[in-house]
């Protein structure tokens, strides 16, 4: 039992710290499963889905006031209504592709080799975009054009390849389309709300039979740790990237991907 609690704590930390930064939380959890056996059983797979809900709630708690203003203003405020439509447009591609390609994604793409290569390649793309001499035209995530929202949503679908990173794909697309770093990063938060909630609901529907009341303590530990770590990341991430860019995340991706490839090549 104690070892299960320790595993739940570690997985909660990994999920919470990596879900909203461009390093791929799914990729990190898969590598932990590969090399440490964390979550390699049926319950472990559904547990990873449940602790993701802790990260979702952390994001929703921080944005609760703004969400309330959007909800109450959507019928009277054209700007609020337009932004809600934009988020839904961005969410649509992932909803369609995720539902239709779910089996292929889980059975073929969820592979540690894919994760490692994607981490390195995605890091290279993120570094390239971060160092471009871009001239941002959008400084608020709520002010993007409707076609821009949809294109960002299409780019997000690349993150169905584990290791690419949902936030990374969203941020790169937004910056290439004219958003500054902060606005691009913040829209990745907004888009995470329906995307993560939808993925959570769909995965829970698929795996609910693997859960039992005997695992409630372990689930609670992972959930709480994930919530706390994600809350800290969401509160600090926008300020950090505004000042420092994405270089730290690039080198983290490259280091984890490279070490993972070496370990896989050695048969570890």
Model confidence at 210: pLDDT above 60: no
Dihedral sign, CA of 96, 101, 102, 105?
Answer: negative
Q: Note the pLDDT tens digit of each residue in 24-50.
A: 998 998 898 888 776 555 455 566 667
Alpha helical stretches, state H, 37-106: 42-62, 64-73, 78-100, 102-104
Using CA atoms, how far apart are residues 227 and 234, in angstroms rounded to an integer? 11
Counting residues of the chain whose pLDDT is more than 90, the rounded percentage is 65
Nearby residues of 239 by Cβ (< 8 Å), 6 or more positions away: none
| pLDDT confidence of residue 92 | 94
Describe the crossing of helices 42-62 and 216-244 by its angle, rounded to 10 degrees. 50
- At residue 77, does pLDDT exceed 70? yes
pLDDT digits (tens, 9 = 90+) for 111-151: 899 999 999 999 999 999 999 999 999 999 999 999 999 99
Beta bridge pairs of residue 138: 179
Q: What is the mean pLDDT of residues 105-109?
A: 82
Q: 178-197, pLDDT tens digit by residue? A: 999 999 999 999 999 998 88
Burial (0-12, 13-18, 19+ Cβ within 10 Å), 216: exposed
Q: Identify the DSSP state of 37.
A: -
Percent composition of the chain: helix, strand, coil (DSSP 3-state, to 5): 80, 0, 15
pLDDT of residue 46: 61
* Count of CB atoms situated within 10 Å of the CB of 104: 10
Predicted TM-score of the model (pTM)? 0.91
Cβ atoms within 10 Å of 254's Cβ, excluding its own: 18
Q: pLDDT at residue 58 above 80?
A: yes
Handedness of CA 48, 58, 236, 71 (dihedral sign): positive
Six-digit token pair at 128? 């390239």
């Amino acid at each position: 039992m104690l070892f299960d609690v320790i595993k739940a704590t570690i997985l909660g930390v990994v999920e919470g710290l990596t879900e909203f930064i461009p390093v791929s939380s799914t990729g990190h959890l898969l590598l932990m499963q590969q090399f440490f056996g964390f979550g390699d059983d049926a319950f472990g797979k559904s547990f990873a889905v449940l602790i993701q809900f802790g990260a979702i709630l952390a994001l929703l708690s921080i944005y609760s006031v703004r969400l309330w203003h959007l909800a109450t203003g959507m019928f009277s405020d054209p700007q609020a209504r337009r932004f809600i439509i934009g988020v839904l447009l961005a969410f649509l591609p992932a909803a369609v592709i995720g539902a239709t390609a779910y089996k292929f994604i889980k059975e073929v793409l969820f592979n540690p080799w894919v994760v490692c290569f994607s981490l390195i390649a995605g890091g290279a793309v993120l570094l390239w975009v971060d160092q471009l001499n871009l001239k941002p035209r959008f400084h608020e995530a709520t002010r993007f054009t409707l076609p821009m929202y949809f294109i960002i949503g299409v780019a997000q679908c690349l993150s169905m390849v584990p290791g690419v990173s949902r936030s990374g794909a969203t941020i790169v697309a937004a910056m290439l389309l004219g958003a500054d770093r902060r606005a691009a990063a913040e829209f990745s938060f907004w888009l995470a709300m329906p995307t993560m909630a939808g993925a959570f609901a769909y995965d829970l529907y698929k795996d609910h039979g693997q859960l039992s009341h005997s695992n409630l303590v372990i689930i609670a530990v992972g959930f709480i740790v994930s919530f706390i770590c994600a809350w800290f990341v969401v509160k600090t991430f926008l300020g950090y990237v505004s000042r420092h860019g994405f270089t730290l995340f690039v080198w983290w991706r490259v280091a984890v991907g490279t070490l993972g490839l070496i370990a896989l090549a050695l048969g570890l």
